[in-house]
Amino acid sequence: MKVSAKPLKKVKLSNSGALSLYFVGCGSAFAKTLNQNNVLIVKGTDHLLVDCGTKCSQALFEAGLHISQVKNYLITHSHADHIGGLEEVQLFGRYVLQQKPRMIITPAYEKVLWEQSLRGGSELSESRPLGFGDLWERLRPGKLKGYPRETFEANLGSINIKMPRTMHFPDSTNSWRDCAWSCAVILDDRVMFTSDTRFDPELVLSYDERFDFDIIFHDCQLFTGGVHASLDELSTLPAAVKRKTILMHYGDNWQDFRDQARAAGFKAWAKEGHSYTF
Ligand SMILES: [Zn+2]
Ligand SMILES: [Zn+2]
């Protein structure tokens, strides 16, 4: 894995063919000094934006990319730091570009995303009510068999994407089965991006046993409780897993925890504005 030496001044949607992750942000939902934990995946001429929060469009613009250039989306769950930018994308697509953006989405999550979030700002834009399919082209992932938990798969050009369900919210449940829709993202069977999740060692350990990931990007909250995995909880993972785990989705005061994370044996903190190439 190669990490860019400096934050990228101009983000591009193609590269020479290596799998690359660009962190638009690495902050928690309430961070003020960090952008939101959204990631742009690029491989050759293929690209995919994983999550599009309220600040995503502006953050990409400041890195030289207009959101309208992003054609492919995958949404991990319905918190605003992951979906707050989608209304701009869908309305810009319909009324300016006159071209639908594409979303990798299951029928079950499409219903949740449309009915509970996106519908309000877009349904009554024209003389007839609009639906999700008027605004988005769908790429349907298939359900995989024989996985430790519900997992979907899609191929976007050369990028293989697997989406295991996760245990994010509410905080009262003990299984992904009882949670609102949320998923992690596995890229080319090499990189795991948990997106937001509570501490759920079975997720990380069972998929790492199967794929032996190069790197795991993991949600990291700086206190224990609520709907995220905390640094203290993550510190109980096996040393071999921590050595390849990069922490993300952290709060503004993350620098106060650098020594603790180093002592616990984590690989690094994700760097906002940087790219990770595999
Ligand atoms: Zn979040
Ligand atoms: Zn969340």
Between CA 182 and CA 78 the distance in angstroms is 8
Q: How far is CA 250 from CA 63, 209, 218, 239, in A?
A: 21, 26, 10, 21
Q: What percent of the chain has pLDDT over 90?
A: 100
In one letter, which amino acid is 77? H
Given pLDDT bands bounded at 50, 70 and 90, which one contains residue 20? very high
Instruction: Please report which ligand is nearest the Cα atom of 182.
Output: 2
- Interval between CA 119 and ligand 2 midpoint (Å): 20
Instruction: Please report which ligand is nearest the Cα atom of 29.
Output: 1
- Interval between CA 52 and ligand 2 midpoint (Å): 12
In one letter, which amino acid is 150? E
- Interval between CA 202 and ligand 1 midpoint (Å): 21
Q: What is the pLDDT of residue 216?
A: 98
> Do 251 and 228 contact (CB within 8 A), yes or no?
no
- Interval between CA 189 and ligand 1 midpoint (Å): 23
* DSSP helix/strand/coil, 149: coil
- Interval between CA 74 and ligand 2 midpoint (Å): 14
- Interval between CA 227 and ligand 1 midpoint (Å): 10
Structure letter (DSSP) for residue 56: H
- Interval between CA 48 and ligand 1 midpoint (Å): 18
Tell me the per-residue pLDDT of 194-238, one tens digit each, with 9 for 90 and over.
Answer: 999 999 999 999 999 999 999 999 999 999 999 999 999 999 999
- Interval between CA 127 and ligand 2 midpoint (Å): 35
Between CA 248 and CA 270 the distance in angstroms is 5
Residue 145, C-beta contacts closer than 8 angstroms, at least 6 positions apart: none
- Interval between CA 195 and ligand 2 midpoint (Å): 8
Q: What is the pLDDT of residue 5?
A: 96
> Do 11 and 44 contact (CB within 8 A), yes or no?
no
- Interval between CA 51 and ligand 1 midpoint (Å): 9
Domains, the chain, with CATH or none: 14-277 (3.60.15.10)
Instruction: Please report which ligand is nearest the Cα atom of 249.
Output: 1
- Interval between CA 77 and ligand 2 midpoint (Å): 7
Given pLDDT bands bounded at 50, 70 and 90, which one contains residue 139? very high
Half-sphere exposure of 229 (CA within 13 A, CB side): 26
Phi/psi region, residue 152 (left: phi>0; alpha: psi -120 to 50; beta: rest), is: beta
Between CA 136 and CA 113 the distance in angstroms is 12
Tell me the per-residue pLDDT of 97-122, one tens digit each, with 9 for 90 and over.
Answer: 999 999 999 999 999 999 999 999 99
Is the full-model pTM beyond 0.85?
yes
Q: What is the pLDDT of residue 48?
A: 98
- Interval between CA 16 and ligand 2 midpoint (Å): 33
Q: What is the pLDDT of residue 253?
A: 98
- Tell me the helix, strand and coil percentages in the chain, rounded to 5: 30, 25, 50
- Interval between CA 29 and ligand 1 midpoint (Å): 5
Instruction: Please report which ligand is nearest the Cα atom of 79.
Output: 2
Average pLDDT, the chain: 98
Helices (H), the chain: 56-62, 80-83, 86-92, 107-113, 119-122, 132-135, 201-211, 231-234, 239-242, 258-264
Residues 177-183: what's their mean pLDDT? 97
Between CA 104 and CA 73 the distance in angstroms is 6
Q: What is the pLDDT of residue 62?
A: 97
- Interval between CA 28 and ligand 2 midpoint (Å): 9
